[in-house]
Structure 1
Amino acid sequence: MAHMRNIALLSGGQAIAGSSQGMVMAVGALAAASLVMDMTYATVPTTVMIVCLALTAGPAAMILHRAGRTRGLVMGMSIAVIGALIVALAVYLEQFILFVAGFGLIGASAAFGQQIRFAAADSVPPDLKAKAVSWVMFGGVLSGFLGPGLAGATADMVPGAQYSGSFIALAAMVCIGIALVAFTDLPKGQPKPEPGKSGRAFGQLVRDPDIFVPMLTGMASFALMTFVMVAAPLAMVYWCGHTPGEAATAIQWHIVAMFAPSFITGTIINRIGTHFTVAIGLLLILASAGIALTGISVLHFNIGLILLGVGWNFGFIGSTVMLTRGYRPEEGARAQALNEQVVFGGMALASIGAGVLLNRFGWEAVNLMVMPIVVAVLLLLAWTDLRGRRLKQETAVSE
Structure 2
Amino acid sequence: MSTLQEKIIDEVVSSPEKQKKLYKQTIITVILSQIFGGAGLAAGITVGALLVQDMLGTDSVAGIPTALFTLGSALTAYLVGRFSQKHGRRLGLASGFIIGGFGAIGVVLSAKMENIYLLFLFLFIYGAGTATNLQARYAGTDLANPNQRATAASMAMVFTTFGAVAGPNLVEITGSFADTIGIPKLAGPFLLAAVSYIMAGIVFLLRLRPDPLLVAQAIAKKSQSQELNQSINKITSENNKPIILLGAIVMIVTQIVMIAIMTMTPIHMTHHGHALGSVGLVIGIHVGSMYLPSLITGILVDKIGRNIMVIAAAVTLFISGLIATFAPGTSLFWLIIALALLGIGWNFGLISGTTLIIDGTTPLTRAKTQGSIDVWVAIGGASGGALSGVIVASSSYGTLAIVAGLISFVLIPALLLSKKKSIED
TM-score in terms of structure 2 length: 0.85
User: Are 2:29 and 1:4 equivalent residues in the alignment?
Assistant: no
Match of 2:296 in 1: 264
**Change in 2 beyond 3 A, CA 1:233/1:157:** same
Q: Does 1:191 align with 2:211?
A: no
Partner of 2:11: none
* Cα gap change, 1:158 to 1:374, in 2 (>3 Å): closer
Cα distance in 1, alignment partners of residues 160 and 74 from structure 2: 21
Match of 1:283 among 315, 324, 329: 315
Q: Give structure 1 regions of 4+ aligned residues with deviation exceeding 4 angstroms.
A: 204-207, 385-388
- Residue 69 of structure 2 is aligned to residue 49 of structure 1: yes
Task: In structure 1, give the amino acid aligned to 2:146.
Answer: P
Paired with 1:188 and 1:210, the residues of 2 have a C-alpha distance of 21
Asked whether the equivalents of residues 68 and 187 of structure 1 are also in contact (C-alpha less than 8 Å), the reply is yes
Opposite residue 345 of structure 2, the aligned amino acid is G
- Cα deviation, residue 206, structure 1: 10
Does the 8 A contact of 1:88 with 1:163 survive in 2?
no
Match runs of 1:92-171 below 5 Å: 92-159=112-179, 160=182, 161-171=184-194
In the alignment, is the contact (CA less than 8 A) between 2:75 and 2:375 conserved in 1?
yes
Q: Deviations over 1:71-130 (max 9, x none)?
A: 111111111221111111111111111111111111133223321111111132333212
> Which structure features the higher share of helix residues?
2
* Distance apart, 1:26 and its partner CA: 0.9
Code of the aligned partner of 1:242: H
1:15 shift after superposition: 2.3
1:311 aligns with 2:335: no
Q: Secondary structure at the match of 1:154?
A: helix
Between stretches 334-343 and 193-202, larger displacement belongs to 193-202
CA contact (8 A) 1:217 1:278 kept: yes
Whole-Å separation in 1 of the counterparts to 2:229 and 2:287: 42
Matched, 1:250 2:276: no
- Given the superposition, is the C-alpha separation of residues 145 and 371 from structure 1 closer, same or farther in structure 2, using an over 3 Å criterion? closer
Q: Residues 188 and 356 from structure 1, CA distance in 2 versus in 1: closer, same or farther, beyond 3 angstroms?
A: same
CA distance in 1, matches of 2:166, 2:204: 18
Question: SS of 1:191's equivalent?
Answer: helix
Counterpart Cα distance in 2 of 1:109 and 1:201? 34
Query: 1:386, CA displacement in angstroms?
Result: 6.0
The aligned amino acid for 2:247 is P
The gaps in structure 2 that reach 5 residues or longer are 1-20
Q: 1:343 to 1:201 in 2, by over 3 A?
A: farther
Residues 367, 201 of structure 1: alpha-carbon distance in 2 compared, 3 angstrom cutoff: farther
* Secondary structure at 2:323 match in 1: helix
Match of 1:218 in 2: 251
Tell me what 2:15 maps to: none
Asked if residue 326 in structure 1 is aligned to residue 326 in structure 2, the reply is no
CA distance in 2, matches of 1:290, 1:371: 7
The letter for the 1-side match of 2:90 is: T
Distance apart, 1:145 and its partner CA:
2.4
The amino acid that maps onto 1:162 is K
Identity of aligned pairs, percent?
24
Structure 1 unpaired stretches of 5+: 395-399
| Residue in structure 1 matching 2:55, options 31, 35, 49 | 35
Contact 2:107 2:190 in 1 (8 A): yes
SS in 2 for 1:124: coil
Aligned to 1:292: 324
Aligned pair 1:358/2:392, yes or no? Answer: yes
Greater mean deviation of Cα atoms: 161-170 or 193-202: 193-202
| Paired residue type of 1:234 | I
- Secondary structure class of the residue paired with 1:26: helix
Q: Determine the C-alpha separation between the residues in 2 that align with 1:42 and 1:180.
A: 34
**Is the alpha carbon distance of 1:102 and 1:201 closer, same or farther for their aligned partners in structure 2, counting shifts above 3 Å?**
farther
Q: Deviations over 1:341-388 (max 9, x none)?
A: 222221111111111111111101111212332222212213434665
- Give the letter for the 2:204 counterpart: V
Which shows bigger deviation, 171-180 or 99-108? Answer: 171-180
Deviation at 1:325, TM superposition (A): 0.6
Tell me what 2:199 maps to: 176
Is the contact made by 2:213 and 2:363 (CA closer than 8 Å) also made in structure 1?
no
Aligned CA-pair RMSD? 2.3
Change over 3 Å in CA distance of 1:82–1:10 after alignment to 2: same
Residue deviations 1:202-260, cap 9 Å, x none? 9x76992111111101111111111111111111113x332222111100000111111
Q: SS in structure 1 opposite 2:349?
A: helix
SS at 2:140 equivalent: helix
Deviation (angstroms), 1:56: 2.8
Alignment partner of 2:208: what SS? coil
Farther-moved stretch of structure 1 (163-172 vs 226-235): 163-172
